[in-house]
Amino acid sequence: MSKRRYAASKKLLTGLIGAPIAHSASPAMHERAAEALGLRGHYQLIEVAGADAAELRMMLEGVRRLGFAGVNVTYPYKEAVVPLLDALAPGAASIGAVNTVVVRDGRLTGHNTDTTGFARAVAPLLAPSGNAVAVIGAGGVGKAIAFALASLQVIDIRIFDSEPARAETLAALIAPRGGARVVASVEDALDGATGLVNGTPVGMLPSRDTPVPAALLRPGLWVADAVYSPLITPLLAAAREKGARIMTGRELAIYQAADAFELFTGLAPSTDVMGEAFDAVMAARSGAYQAA
């Protein structure tokens, strides 16, 4: 997007809908990026657990009417908001999941910057000679991850979800773009895989679980986690111990936020500035845990 929507010193109101989101680094990233561009930004956390369609509609109507440039959407509402919006960008329509809602001329348009953000983050890990990647989880973020891998010409995407029907639906959506198949177990997903991505909330605090048994991890594998609270999840800690390369949720968090900010404003933010804000939040959180 090239058109500037916000002049210097203009107020910028954005936010996040989801639950739980108290841990989110998004306020710091968006507000610091706005400040660096001369905007007066405020990023509001809108945490409502267990919202049904009517409650989500009310929240979105507030976003429409209260001067928001847009909001991000996270777990568990990335799919639930789709039928409540006025329009979907092509990418979000294909995926059936939205993490960014832009308000323009009174209309709410859904986008998916998890896909573009993850593609930017994971590209350095992919081998030019071919990749077989296991994706654990076929919900909102799992969908975005699988579409990002397909956009990078990964032709062997193995999808596992505890609800097989969700995995089947995702594989069918990706079929026109590349090779995706449903597997019956995590073991099958990792058989001969070069990479593994956790697209579930398993491992996000306060959970200390892992979606993949440590015995299945090995050297030569790369392992990425969409979770960033904590930055080193139990999955990533086990993978590192086994000698696998790891990618934390840091890069996905920063790149999806940067792409969303540009959609909200028409201005390209500094990913370095956003990264510094993200790191400051994580450092403060780590200090708080140690003090406790």
Tell me the per-residue pLDDT of 267-286, one tens digit each, with 9 for 90 and over.
999 999 999 999 999 999 87
Residue written as token pair 């953000």: 117
78 is catalytic: yes
Average pLDDT over the chain, rounded to an integer: 93
80, 86, 91: which is closest to 17 by C-alpha? 80
- For the beta carbon of residue 288, count every other beta carbon within 10 angstroms: 9
Q: Which of 10, 78, 143, 242 is catalytic?
A: 78
User: pTM of the predicted model, to two decimals?
Assistant: 0.90
Q: Which two tokens stand for residue 244?
A: 């696998």
Q: Are 140 and 97 in contact (CB under 8 A)?
A: yes
Say how many CA atoms lie within 13 Å of 261 toward its Cβ: 31
Task: Retrieve residue 132's tokens.
Answer: 């077989």
Are the C-beta atoms of 49 and 19 separated by less than 8 Å?
A: yes
H-helix or E-strand containing 246?
strand 245-247
Strand, helix or coil for residue 146: helix
Share of residues in the chain with pLDDT > 70 (%): 95
Q: In what order do the strands lie in the sheet with 40-47?
A: 40-47, 11-18, 70-73, 100-104, 107-111, 87-88
